[in-house]
Amino acid sequence: MVCIPIERLLAQAQGTLPAQEAEQINHHLRRGCPSCLQQFQLIQKTLSVCESQNLISPPDWLLNQAMSLFRWRPALEKANHREILPATLLSDSTTNMRLLGFRGAGVAGRHLLYRAGDYDVDLFMDFVEPARAFDIVGQTMPTGLELDAVAHGDVELFKASDLALATKTNEFGEFLMERVEEGIYSLKLKFKTSEIDIVELRALLEE
């Protein structure tokens, strides 16, 4: 019994063969050629899966964030008994604006919302045109904790492993970092019991 070429089996499954050839293949399959039958069934299954198309690809920014998390390494020995919480990026206004078709949305200002354990961190990066730098305004909000959990915490901005800027949160968990040069940073927010790590914070004009 001579087997049917695989591309003809595909054409058979797609129903695009002339009637005479289709009948010949059907006859071959009915006679029980195990190899062709197995291939044919696999092709049918593949075509059926192609029909469904329910799988959705994650957006680039989310993949990049998952990539950044892999690079994130908690400096446990420096934590001073604080719980180290990596922040997950929930929303990025630049991405949202791009989806709406605003190509230059990243330049004017960028709003980022992070979540780390029981904390939300809101960041607003405002581009300061003359200085070609960013002002970063942030607020940490505890969810289910007292507000003083985020009061007077240390805020440290690192470029690679170098400390670029440092400040403190006020009694409401707010902070301001002025004239941050363009670059990719990591931001650490250190409170009494927790340290929040924001990895690969991108203070960039265009991406």
Partner 1 sequence: MQGTETIASACSKDYYQQGDAVLLQQCLERNEQAWSALLQRYGNIIYSIAWRSNLSSEEVARVFQSVWLTLIQNLDLVHQEPRLTRWLVTRTLHESLRVGEERQGNYRCDTHPVLSEKEITELEQERLLWQALSSMAAPCQELLKRLLYDKHSWLCQHAAKPTPTTCGIEPNIRCCLAKLLATLKELGF
Residues within the interface to partner 1 (CB under 8 A): 5-7, 10-11, 14, 16-17, 39, 42-43, 45-47, 49-50, 52-60, 62-67, 69-72, 86, 88-91, 113, 115
Reduce the DSSP state of residue 113 to 3 states and report it.
strand
Least distance from partner 1 to the Cβ atom of residue 167, Å = 26
| String of DSSP letters for 77-105 | GGSTTPEEEEPEEEEEHHHHHHHTT-TTH
Least distance from partner 1 to the Cβ atom of residue 190, Å = 20
**Which residue lies nearer to partner 1 by CB, 47 or 128?**
47
Cα–Cα distance list, 63 to 7, 66, 69, 200, 204 (Å): 36, 5, 10, 13, 18
**Which residue lies nearer to partner 1 by CB, 69 or 204?**
69
CA distance 98 to 66: 20
Least distance from partner 1 to the Cβ atom of residue 139, Å = 17
CA distance 181 to 186: 13
**Which residue lies nearer to partner 1 by CB, 114 or 185?**
114
Least distance from partner 1 to the Cβ atom of residue 125, Å = 18
